[in-house]
Amino acid sequence: MKTSLLSIVLLGAAALPLTAAENISYSQLLREITSVEQAPAPEPSVEKISIPGADAGRYWVTVKAADSRARTRLLEAGLDIVEIAKDSVSGYAGPYTMGQLSNKSFVVTSQVPLADYLGKMNKDFPSQDAAYHNFKETTDLLKEMAARNSDIASLFSIGKTVEGRDIWCLRINSAAKGETPSAKPGALYIGNHHAREHLSNEVPLLFAAYLLDHKNDADIKKYIATLDIYIIPMLNPDGAEYDIKNGSYQYYRKNMSVNSDKSRGVDLNRNYDSWWCQAGASNYPGADTYCGPRAFSEPESQAVKRFVEARRNLKTHISYHTYGSEILYPWGGTDAEISNTRDKQVFIKAGDEMGKLTGYRSYKSSEMYVATGDSCDWAYAAGGIFAFTFELEGRGFYPGAAIITNAVTKNIKAAVYLLSITDNPYKVI
Ligand code: 0X9
Ligand code: ZN
């Protein structure tokens, strides 16, 4: 739970008159984040990690896997792949997946009870990560941004989560507000499909602050006047909140649905209707890669579906995840190449350009592993949207607050680049 950053920002903001001319300052936000980053470490504490089922046979495992095909089979066995090496992968496995790994022809080279593994990890603690924004802080900040920039910004909920939280969308458009349609080319940025990937909320949230703070810069002004920009920083607030409950990280990936077997959660990035629940997904509810009972079974993915289908003007999209310093483009659900060669060239060229701006490697999603039900595959297939998955930087899901400024700064460059081609993505080829 962070108190310092937002309260400083909002207390500071409250002292100002609420006029359209006043902005939540992006640079102020970054300064505050930096000051939180540099704050002295709190009292050393014994980390209390409570993993769902940690006592019931969850392991950190390393399994031989020489290529993307082998990695896909492991996803299907329910393995929550976290690290990919040349000949192996490592990740989390619960009792079901441990059974699959022993029954099938997998070679497990190491398995460490999760509690032991986490106990040995040198990672940051939530109190040191105060600069990250939880759901309330994100909500307050988005409301403040919209209120202070009512000439160009509006905020609305695209739907409710399993637990009834709003999925907020900040829209930046000089003419249309709220859910009013627009014919201008649209760009969509979504963070936090996966609960524990908190940096994927910060990047789009701070990108929104940046755009509003720079609304009078010539290039940004032009994009705001000519484009329809949507930013949904927190698609899975239930999961994100669960992941930080009790002030300790839960290593939680999915949403908070209660499954038929009473296990929790569907993997939202396996729940879209793109070869749903085929390769790289598990139909076992307890698995971290569980695809759900049917495509779009989840209110969060349904909300994205409704949102995208109602906005045929959308041309470009980034879905933020962590981690890996990668930019991925379709297909992710099949080894096949996309059939439209011009589109493929756009993906390659735009991906490379954003790769230069971030230092990330851009390549076809399925080369990482084939995984079906992926949001970006669906967005491209359903709407012809140039949809990129960004695996942001950092080693681990909890890279600490010190990573935010750099990650945000370089990713704003890539996000602005995407705006620059949204009027006509084909101009890049
Ligand atoms: O597996 C995922 O959903 C993404 N990785 S993460 O570590 N953030 O969970 C990658 C999605 C890329 N898409 C495909 N390879 N289909
Ligand atoms: Zn993810």
Tell how far CA 314 is from the center of its chain.
Answer: 19
Matching residue, tokens 């607050």:
401
Q: Which residues contact 222 (CB under 8 A, 6 or more apart)?
A: none
**Secondary structure (3-state) at 197:** coil
Q: Which is higher by pLDDT, 182 or 136? A: 182
Mutate to test the pocket of ligand 1, among 374, 377, 380, 397 (most ligand atoms within 8 A of CB): 374
Query: Tell me, what's the pLDDT at 104?
Result: 75
pLDDT digits (tens, 9 = 90+) for 1-17: 333 333 333 233 332 33
HSE at residue 377, side-chain half, CA atoms within 13 A, is 25
State in Å: Cα 72 to ligand 1 middle: 11
Whether pLDDT at 20 is above 80: no
Atom of ligand 1 nearest to the CA of 331: 16
Q: How confident is the model at residue 23 (pLDDT cuts 50, 70, 90)?
A: low
Whether pLDDT at 391 is above 80: yes
pLDDT digits (tens, 9 = 90+) for 122-169: 323 367 888 999 998 999 999 999 999 999 999 999 999 999 999 999
Task: Provide, rounded to the nearest whole percent, the portion of the chain with pLDDT above 70.
Answer: 86
State in Å: Cα 189 to ligand 2 middle: 14
State the DSSP code for 154: E
Distance CA 249, CA 100 (A): 27
Query: Tell me, what's the pLDDT at 48?
Result: 31
Atom of ligand 1 nearest to the CA of 374: 16
Query: Tell me, what's the pLDDT at 66?
Result: 94
Cis upstream peptide for 132 (omega within 30°):
no
Residue 396: exposure state from Cβ atoms within 10 A (0-12, 13-18, ≥19)? middle
Going by CA atoms, what residue is nearest to atom 13 of ligand 1? 332
Average of per-residue pLDDT across 392-405: 93
Distance CA 227, CA 423 (A): 7
pLDDT digits (tens, 9 = 90+) for 411-425: 999 999 999 999 999
Q: Which residues contact 207 (CB under 8 A, 6 or more apart)?
A: 189, 231, 408, 411, 412, 415
Q: Which is higher by pLDDT, 29 or 220? A: 220
pLDDT digits (tens, 9 = 90+) for 258-297: 999 999 999 999 999 999 999 999 999 999 999 999 999 9
Going by CA atoms, what residue is nearest to atom 16 of ligand 1? 332
**Secondary structure (3-state) at 9:** helix
> What is the third-level CATH fold of 51-121?
Alpha-Beta Plaits (3.30.70)
Whether pLDDT at 329 is above 90: yes
Whether pLDDT at 302 is above 50: yes
Whether pLDDT at 248 is above 60: yes
Contact (Cβ atoms closer than 8 angstroms) between residue 212 and residue 173: no
Mean pLDDT of all residues in the chain?
88
Mutate to test the pocket of ligand 1, among 391, 397, 398 (most ligand atoms within 8 A of CB): 391
Contact (Cβ atoms closer than 8 angstroms) between residue 302 and residue 159: yes
CB-based pocket (< 6 A), ligand 1: 194, 197, 269, 321, 328, 332-333, 365-366, 368-369, 371, 374, 389, 391
Atom of ligand 1 nearest to the CA of 371: 16
Query: Tell me, what's the pLDDT at 417?
Result: 98
pTM above 0.75, yes or no: yes
Q: Where are the beta strands (DSSP E) in 86-224?
A: 88-93, 108-113, 153-160, 166-172, 186-191
Q: Which helix (H) or strand (E) holds 60?
A: strand 59-64
Q: Which residues contact 372 (CB under 8 A, 6 or more apart)?
A: 270, 274, 275, 276, 277, 278, 279, 280, 281, 291, 332, 333, 334
Atom of ligand 1 nearest to the CA of 197: 8
Tell how far CA 201 is from the center of its chain.
Answer: 6
pLDDT digits (tens, 9 = 90+) for 46-63: 233 333 444 467 888 999
Going by CA atoms, what residue is nearest to atom 3 of ligand 1? 269
Q: Copy the structure tokens of residue 323.
A: 């981690």
> What is the third-level CATH fold of 12-40+125-247+290-428?
Aminopeptidase (3.40.630)
Please state whether beta strands 186-191 and 314-322 pair in parallel, antiparallel, or not at all (unpaired).
parallel
State in Å: Cα 410 to ligand 2 middle: 19
Q: Which of 195, 245, 239 is nearest to 49 (CA)?
A: 245
Query: Tell me, what's the pLDDT at 56?
Result: 60
Average of per-residue pLDDT across 208-213: 97
Ligand nearest to the CA of 375: 1
Contact (Cβ atoms closer than 8 angstroms) between residue 231 and residue 416: no
Query: Tell me, what's the pLDDT at 116?
Result: 67
State in Å: Cα 195 to ligand 1 middle: 13
State in Å: Cα 149 to ligand 2 middle: 31
Q: Which is higher by pLDDT, 251 or 117? A: 251
State the DSSP code for 296: T
**Secondary structure (3-state) at 204:** helix
Q: Which residues are catalytic?
A: 391
Query: Tell me, what's the pLDDT at 36?
Result: 66
Distance CA 255, CA 253 (A): 7
Tell how far CA 270 is from the center of its chain.
Answer: 14
Residue ranges per domain, the chain? 12-40+125-247+290-428, 51-121
Q: Copy the structure tokens of residue 35.
A: 């000051």
